[in-house]
């Protein structure tokens, strides 16, 4: 029964391109417009067929992780690209749209992000081995979208350019006190303190990141300029000349956006500048991927632009600038995946094959949503005063800055 249901679903879904599916009973079906080459999947378990009908995205990821769904001679990327293009075209049967609407109504419950839940969610993803992340990331351990001001940049150069771009948007002055919300392993804090003369207070909820960032600051002789705290931003008081947050808003959850931006406004000096860098959607609000939510980022959510502009407006802060970095994250993720695959033997010494397939699926699906769907990266430059930054973007792109970035 379930095979016939999945057959009808795929016949409706795959309208652009083609997909070849081999079922557990050995039957092979070709779906789509017949264009070649058609990537293929092999389903090895009858139970997975039923799960693919009930919750396609979750079941596909789980099947790939468990090895009950394989891609034969095709690449995972080619298979997922066909699926994602057709989902984006709205070819799913109506019942799945109704299920999505129910899930959308449940978002306030799923994204409830108390301080206790926030710590557990962060630990799930970031408190695995630092050594694993070192195999995948650049030397500075920047785990967020790089800035490819030149498409030929290496990952190291693009991450340095990202930090330089953010520093210019912060309009730093010597001695500026910067709050870094979600400071990761401390790379941005080190750059702002060492290269721009700032004092930095960094916040993280990850025990691993806290220990590593403190160790890096001490090793660089900057412990007098950098303070790393294991603390939720909601528990912080004080006033800061500059506030920066890179890749943290994705963990806040839609019900807490007004709370987040109100806290930023309250912590920011009247003459200050804040820079919020986050993955976002160039489309209407929707649901988070059930697979990503279960296995990679519990409690996470990628907001649409409309979901962010409104809570910012309630704070009275000025949107001094909004920039969309459209394909930079896809390029970043491709570098991470290349590093991951190049270090597979060392990863396998740490984790089992299921973890490896999970991580490969995560990196690949994320590349494709930036290339095929509506995901981008937004940088919001905020301030209490409309003249807190120069009136044009010329200060971001001067020739001297470009030469400095190239040197870095």
Among all residues, which ones are annotated catalytic? 366
Which of 397, 389, 401 is CA-nearest to residue 171? 389
What is the rounded CA–CA span in Å between residue 80 and residue 172? 43
Q: Are 398 and 150 in contact (CB under 8 A)?
A: no
Torsion of Cα atoms, 243 then 246 then 247 then 249, to 10°: 20
Helix (H) or strand (E) holding 103: helix 94-105
What is the rounded CA–CA span in Å between residue 303 and residue 312? 13
Alpha-carbon distance values, 54 to 5, 29, 306 (Å): 10, 20, 30
Which of 195, 142, 202 is CA-nearest to residue 168? 195
Q: Are strands 199-204 and 177-181 parallel, antiparallel or unpaired?
A: parallel
What is the rounded CA–CA span in Å between residue 141 and residue 186? 8
Q: Are 246 and 277 in contact (CB under 8 A)?
A: yes
382: left (phi over 0), alpha (psi -120 to 50) or beta: beta
Place of tokens 């019942």: 95
The strands making up 199-204's β-sheet, listed across from edge to edge, are 226-230, 199-204, 177-181, 240-246, 268-281, 375-383, 318-325
Count, residues in the chain: 408
Encoded tokens for 17 = 């391109």
CA angle 75, 79, 81 (to 5 degrees): 110
Q: Please, where are the H alpha helices in 298-394?
A: 305-315, 328-342, 344-350, 353-372
């Amino acid at each position: 029964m379930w095979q016939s249901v999945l057959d009808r679903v795929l016949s409706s879904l795959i309208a652009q391109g083609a997909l070849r599916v081999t079922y557990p009973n050995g039957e092979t079906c070709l779906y789509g417009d017949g264009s070649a080459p058609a990537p293929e999947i092999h389903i090895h378990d009858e139970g997975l067929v039923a799960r693919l009908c009930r919750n396609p995205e979750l079941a596909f990821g789980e099947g790939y992780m468990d090895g009950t769904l394989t891609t034969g001679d095709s690449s995972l990327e080619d298979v997922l690209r066909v699926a994602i293009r057709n989902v984006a075209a709205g070819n799913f049967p109506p019942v799945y749209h109704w299920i999505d609407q129910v899930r959308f109504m449940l978002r306030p419950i799923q994204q409830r992000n108390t301080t206790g839940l926030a710590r557990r969610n962060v630990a799930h993803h970031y408190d695995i081995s630092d050594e694993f992340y070192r195999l995948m990331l650049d030397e500075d351990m920047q785990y967020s979208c790089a800035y490819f001001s030149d498409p030929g940049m290496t990952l190291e150069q693009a991450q340095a350019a990202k930090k330089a771009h953010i520093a210019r948007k912060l309009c730093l002055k010597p001695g500026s006190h910067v709050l870094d919300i979600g400071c990761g392993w401390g790379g941005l804090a080190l750059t702002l303190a060492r290269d721009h003369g700032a004092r930095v207070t960094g916040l993280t909820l990850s025990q691993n990141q806290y220990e590593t960032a403190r160790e890096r600051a001490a090793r660089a002789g900057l412990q007098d300029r950098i303070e790393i705290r294991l603390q939720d931003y909601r528990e912080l008081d004080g006033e800061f000349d500059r506030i920066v947050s890179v890749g943290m808003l994705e963990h806040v959850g839609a019900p807490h956006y007004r709370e987040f931006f109100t806290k930023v406004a309250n912590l920011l000096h009247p003459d200050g500048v804040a820079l919020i860098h986050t993955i976002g959607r160039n489309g209407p609000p929707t649901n988070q991927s059930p697979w990503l939510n279960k296995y990679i980022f519990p409690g996470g959510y990628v907001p649409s632009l409309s979901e962010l502009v409104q809570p910012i407006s309630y704070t009275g802060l000025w949107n001094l600038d909004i920039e969309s970095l459209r394909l930079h994250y896809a390029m970043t993720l491709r570098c991470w995946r290349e590093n991951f695959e190049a270090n597979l033997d060392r990863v396998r010494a740490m984790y089992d094959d299921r973890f490896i397939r999970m991580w490969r699926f995560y990196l690949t699906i994320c590349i494709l949503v930036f290339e095929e769907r509506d995901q981008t990266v937004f940088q919001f430059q905020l301030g209490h005063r409309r003249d807190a930054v120069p009136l044009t973007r010329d200060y971001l792109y001067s020739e001297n800055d470009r030469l400095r970035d190239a040197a870095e």
